[in-house]
Chain A
Amino acid sequence: MFKVAGYVAFAMLLAGAAFWWITTPERVRENDIAGLAGDAVRGEAAFWAGGCASCHSAPGAEGDERLVLSGGRAFASDFGTFYAPNISPDPVYGIGDWQAADLVNAMRHGTAPGGDHYYPAFPYTSYARASLQDMVDLWAFLQTLPASTVPDTPHEVGFPFSLRRLLGGWKFLFTGPDQVVAGDLPPEAARGRTLAEGLGHCGECHSPRNALGGIDYTRWLAGAPNPSGKGRIPNITPGKLDWSVADLVEYFTSGFTPDYDSAGGEMAEVVQNLAKLPIEDRRAIAAYLKAVPAVE
């Protein structure tokens, strides 16, 4: 009898320890980035590739206002509404008191400076694939942007999703592979893979998710319902998208589809960002999209 209770207690202890271990936020070690110097010019390219402004600028920001990362945009999801925080260099309302390592922890591990988990509405699942150099460069660029004193809006997330500790389990279960499209690709498509699977975080919207919000990597970029509840985000694998490389590059540059309609909604923001990348990078993303496995 006591023996059984002992086993049960031991099993519970083990489960508790496993839970604690699994849900403990991961952090980068300071000396992982010690040798890296941030370059703000390269950081600006990382900034546009990552689309930071699309979420972190004020709602409706246009032109240079998109460089003021005051936060405040709302993102509806099945789990609640998330509000993008202020990531401007203000030391009180923004992230002006961070170090480069804090940005690396945020992007690579989804871990906040205080040790909390971030919700994956912040696409660290993808950003984790960016290089440490990209992140350090991005940090250098972010510090050149204007400070904003707009306070953060708390997320509206119901129980149990409000328990951030559980996100450690989410990360454990749903952190994706280092490369989604694995194996050797020609150099241009490989560069596109780095951009599209990493900073570009295309898969965050264009891939379907399971009931707990984990990306379904077997249907990578095969389209998904729009989390806002209206419309669908299209399948951009060769199984559905028959645009030529030239069509894709034009779309990433001017937003014009092959029918000369223009990108709308969130994709219009994405195009604004992509248009600021060197044309070689837009070509690379187009080459990657041609190399992605076709899903019907």
Chain B
Amino acid sequence: MKAITKLTLALTLAGGVAGAVSADEAAIKARQGQMKLYAHYLGLLGGMAKGAVPYDADKAGAAAASLAMLTKLDSSRLWPEGSDEMSADGTRALPAMWENGDDVMKKVMALGEAAAGMEMAAGQSLEALQGAMGPLGGACGACHKAYRAPDS
């Protein structure tokens, strides 16, 4: 009986610890998935901007709309406290992100605006799409510059 209690306790504790780790891990994986989705839609838009893919207004517009939608995901669920590179594995997110909430929010808003700008531009013309790539890249880069550890 006592042994079973001990075992249960041990399992519960282990489960608790494992559970805590996997909540952060899940968030890290999920936000990296979000980044992959960004890249996937950007791949079409960027390919058109570079001339590697023929320009198609409908496809460009749809990709840009999806991209804009992705910027609207609830970030708090993706970036829980304790999921920075010092506290967790498999992430390059610097702890400074959680110390500069206001600045991060400003950059998130800027990304939303740049994505909305692309959504307006992508279906209009190739030139408009090309013009919207810069601000979008700038918004992505602003956060990566400030809050992502170098690739080692």
Contact = CB atoms under 8 A, between A and B. Distances in A.
A268 B39 contact: no
Nearest to A245: B50
A253 B49 CA distance: 11
A264 B148 CA distance: 7
Interface string A106-149: 00000000000000000000000000000000000000000000
Contacts of A232: 152
A255 interface: yes
B150 A230 contact: yes
A265 B133 CA distance: 20
Interface stretch (B12-20, B70-78, B137-145): B137-145
Nearest to A263: B141
Given A246-B52, A260-B39, A60 B146 contact: yes
A62 B149 CA distance: 19
B136 A62 contact: no
B79 interface: no
B141 A262 contact: yes
Contacts of B150: 226, 228, 230-231, 264-265
A269 B145 contact: yes
A60 B147 CA distance: 11
Nearest to B149: A230
Given A226-B150, A260-B39, A265-B150, A271 B50 contact: no
A256 B149 CA distance: 17
B1 to A, nearest CB: 54
Contact of A256 (B46, B51, B146, B152): B46
Contacts of A101: none
B38 to A, nearest CB: 7
A44 B7 CA distance: 72
Contacts of B138: 254-255, 272, 275
Given A231-B152, A260-B42, A275-B138, A250 B133 contact: yes
Contact of B133 (A246, A254, A264, A269): A254
Contacts of A255: 137-138, 140-141
B140 A262 contact: yes
B46 A265 contact: no
A262, A263, A264 pick with most chain B CB within 10 angstroms: A262
B50 A262 contact: no
A231 B51 CA distance: 33
B43 interface: yes
A250 B46 contact: yes
B50, B146, B149 pick with most chain A CB within 10 angstroms: B50
B134 interface: yes
Nearest to B133: A254
Given A254-B138, A260-B38, A275-B138, A231 B52 contact: no
B50 A275 contact: no
Given A253-B134, A253-B137, A259-B39, A62 B142 contact: yes
A275 B134 contact: yes
Contacts of A265: 145, 150
Given A256-B46, A268-B141, A268-B145, A246 B136 contact: no
Contacts of A46: none
7 contacts: A254-B133, A256-B137, A260-B38, A264-B150, A265-B150, A269-B145, A272-B138
Interface of B: 38-40, 42-43, 46, 49-52, 133-134, 136-138, 140-142, 144-146, 148-152
